[in-house]
Structure 1
């Protein structure tokens, strides 16, 4: 009735169908994971946009000015004197100190001239 080759071919077809089903199932699971990650990315981008809008609202100069006037007694702020703002050329230069390393012993092979570590190199 059935030959051996028929049975082998049926077994190959069943295994190919099982492999195809398993691969399709794994691909769908990975696609679901990718969609979840994309949704999280969209949520984070929306959160960042919201925080940027909130930051720009909180740092408006008119709002900061009214807060500074409201809390003048606690903060004790003073106006900036134009002489306090200087350019880079007006700042005093800091002296550069270079440490002399030539008098220090270097240590290691340079100290005694021989290397005690055996590395397997060819010795002449």
Structure 2
């Protein structure tokens, strides 16, 4: 009733169906993983936006001025005086010292004997 070719073709069809199911299942699992990563990225972006908003709120000049006035005795902050701001020419010049590194020995190997290691370079 069944010939050998019929049995082989049925086996090929069952194998192809199993392969298709396995491929589909793996693709769905990868899609779930991608969706999870995208959700994590959205969460992190929202967290960054929230932190930026908090930072801008905390660094408002009016808030900082009020805090400086409240904690003036503890911090001992003083307003900047116009005489504190100087130009570059008013700063003292530091002496420039350059060390002579040509006379120093770096390990002393080359002064004792030339390196006899054979490489792919030009032989002497």
Sort the Cα spacing of 1:58 and 1:8 in 2 relative to 1 into closer, same or farther, 3 A.
same
Partner secondary structure for residue 99 of structure 1:
coil
Instruction: Report the equivalent of 1:107.
Output: 107
TM-fit CA distance, 1:120: 7.6
CA distance in 2, matches of 1:69, 1:120: 74
CA distance in 1, matches of 2:118, 2:108: 14
TM-fit CA distance, 1:64: 0.7
Larger mean Cα displacement after TM superposition, 101-110 or 46-55: 101-110
TM-score normalised according to structure 2 size: 0.85
Which runs of no fewer than 5 residues in structure 2 stay unpaired? Answer: none
TM-fit CA distance, 1:67: 0.9
Quote the RMSD (CA, aligned, Å).
Answer: 2.2
Sort the Cα spacing of 1:122 and 1:4 in 2 relative to 1 into closer, same or farther, 3 A.
farther
Which runs of no fewer than 5 residues in structure 1 stay unpaired? Answer: none
TM-fit CA distance, 1:109: 5.4
Aligned length: 124
TM-score normalised according to structure 1 size: 0.85
